[in-house]
Structure 1
Amino acid sequence: MRIIAFALLLASAACAAQRRALPVNSTSVSHYGKIAFQSSSNGSVTRATFNNPPINLVDAFVVSDLFDFLHSLQPAPNKTTPKVVVFDSANPDWFLGHYDLHNIELPFTTTKSDIFNQVIDCTRYILNTTSTAFIAEINGRTIGLGQELSIQMDMRFAGPHALASSFENSIGLTAAAGGQPFLGPVIGKARAMEYLLAAKAFDGPTGERLGLFNTYYDTTEQLQSEVSALAERIALFPQHSLNDTKVTLSLLNPTIASLNDQLARFIPLMDLPEDQATVAKFIEVSGNQTNSLFELDIPESSVQAVRNGVYL
């Protein structure tokens, strides 16, 4: 069943643009209201604000709204798109949470497969969109899939509450939506191995020092002001020149083939009985993935759960 699901997953990235015709107007592509949009007067800069209380869990609703928005940015004749999109969060504690682990629990239904495929479509859309520069304004936790999505954006800036982690190794899984292949080129292989294998977290200053974040700002106000000023400056310039720069620098990204190879290795991990047991226990001790002390302390809480034999 998983082999069939993976074949469908690979095909989905190629045919996603044919699934549904979506409006360009960003205010009409958040059907579940999990992303709010605010555009500049001339439409050159859009702020896309995640809002899925209590922890901005990347569930089916967030995935659907993000897919719809990114799809609306894909090029088409006589269509204009913002030159810059700044992703931020309405939640002061969370930029973007991890994937909803209910969606990888067995049985792996068609619905769960569709959500998983749509996640991969989102990552491909981020990489394929050369008409728009993506900036992540991170001032809270970005954990698991949240970290994977943010690291694939063009730039990342951190505020005083920023914390980033791909904690998946602590539950027997891996950062399969691009988190591993992107982290290596960004901070170097040895550092990526340290943070991924040990399920460590980056705070703002550490992330800036290692290159995960472009800049760390000591205050929320400075973060928002500087990111807004940068976005407005970029938006002064012709879109065709911005496009050419993104196309050129995109050559530094991992190849789609390498990303697909990682997915092929990841999918069997979800079937392992020990990993299914760990996922079930994680959901339990996290208070069903709510704003619990366990969630607030990831990755350390998950690492401690391994030490204490909680997942066994």
Structure 2
Amino acid sequence: MEKYKTLEIIQKTPNSSVFHLYLNNPNLRNALSRDFFIEFPKALQSLDQNTNVSVIILSGHGDHFCSGIEINALNSITSAEIEDHGRLREQIRREIKGLQDAITAIEKCRKPVIAAIHGGCIGGGIDMVTACDIRYCTEDTFFCVKEVDLAITADLGTLQRLPRIVGYGNAVELALTARRFLGSEAKSLGLVSRVFGTRKDMEVEVRAIAEGIASKSPLAIIGTKEVSLRSRDMTIEQGLDYVATWNSSMLLSDDLMEAVSAHFQKRKPAFAKL
């Protein structure tokens, strides 16, 4: 498996289809460097194409999940030596779009991505977790949409995804105040599904949840993710039409026959890899 400077991929249990993707820059509280934005989409694509992977758990090494974008990464965007103002701004826009694509790679990955968050989740960390399919955290996790304190408008997805998760009013309040909020409030807002007392408790439970998802039909799992994401931006009627088209292509599968047979035979189904 490929090695990365800013990430680590671990298969903790042999023969398990749950893989762990760790942010691996603990000395800088997993700040997001230029290398990260190059490596992260590559790692997700690699996991997506790996037939042995069904579910990905995203977490961070060290004391914090993520402290946001590294200052050096911001400087590299704004320090380009181009005299023409039009060309300079076009390059900055292109750079920002590239950073956005690295975060959106979470949604483009067919496999479900579960965020297991501990310590600080700040700025770019929130961009990441709002793109994940499921989010969990510990009681002492603290979150902060930090960008306005750095004289920046958050531009990697928080302002687009967070309102769909916690509601428009809540998201704007968090973004304008840049205040810290803890795991319990994140749960009450709907940002996370569950809050765990300790990091160890979270790791054990999230792994069990991921294994449960991984045991289900791969076609049903990737279909549920794809249809959910597409339907988010559609009317109900459009979403229903989309899922009808999806299932007309995917429903008549060996997975369906296996699920039905296993139900009547009172055994666990065994699905082929995807």
TM-score, structure 1 normalization:
0.66
Cα-Cα RMSD: 2.3
Describe the shift of the 1:180–1:114 C-alpha distance in structure 2 as closer, same or farther (beyond 3 A).
closer
Whichever residue aligns with residue 140 of structure 2, its letter is H
SS at 2:57 equivalent: strand
2:232 maps to 1:236: no
For 1:124 and 1:158, locate their aligned partners in 2 and report how far apart those are by CA, in whole Å: 21
1:166-199 deviations in whole A, cap 9, x for unaligned? 1111222122111011110101111111111111
2:80 corresponds in structure 1 to: 108
SS at 1:96 equivalent: coil
**Which sections of structure 1, spanning at least 5 residues, go unmatched?**
1-26, 256-312
2:35 maps to 1:55: no
2:102 corresponds in structure 1 to: 122
**Which sections of structure 2, spanning at least 5 residues, go unmatched?**
83-90, 235-274
Asked if structure 2 preserves the Cα contact closer than 8 Å seen for 1:70 and 1:122, the reply is: no
Shift of 1:112: 8.0
Asked if structure 1 preserves the Cα contact closer than 8 Å seen for 2:30 and 2:61, the reply is: no
Q: Which has the higher Rg, Structure 1 or Structure 2?
A: 2
For 1:83 and 1:137, locate their aligned partners in 2 and report how far apart those are by CA, in whole Å: 17
Equivalences for residues 33-44 of structure 1 within 5 A? 34-39=6-11, 40-44=13-17
2:256 corresponds in structure 1 to: none
1:70 corresponds in structure 2 to: 44
Equivalences for residues 226-305 of structure 1 within 5 A? 226-253=205-232
Shift of 1:254: 5.6
For 1:57 and 1:90, locate their aligned partners in 2 and report how far apart those are by CA, in whole Å: 11
SS at 1:86 equivalent: strand
2:159 corresponds in structure 1 to: 180
For 2:94 and 2:73, locate their aligned partners in 1 and report how far apart those are by CA, in whole Å: 10
Percent of aligned pairs with the same residue?
A: 22
SS at 1:58 equivalent: coil
Shift of 1:250: 0.6
Describe the shift of the 1:209–1:68 C-alpha distance in structure 2 as closer, same or farther (beyond 3 A).
same
Whichever residue aligns with residue 71 of structure 2, its letter is L
SS at 1:95 equivalent: coil
For 1:66 and 1:43, locate their aligned partners in 2 and report how far apart those are by CA, in whole Å: 22
Shift of 1:253: 4.2
1:98 corresponds in structure 2 to: 68
Shift of 1:121: 2.1
2:171 maps to 1:198: no
SS at 2:135 equivalent: strand
More deviation, 64-73/168-177? 64-73
TM-score, structure 2 normalization:
0.74
1:170 corresponds in structure 2 to: 149
More deviation, 114-123/57-66? 114-123
For 2:186 and 2:167, locate their aligned partners in 1 and report how far apart those are by CA, in whole Å: 13
Alignment partner of 2:57 out of 50, 72, 86: 86
Shift of 1:31: 3.0
SS at 2:22 equivalent: strand
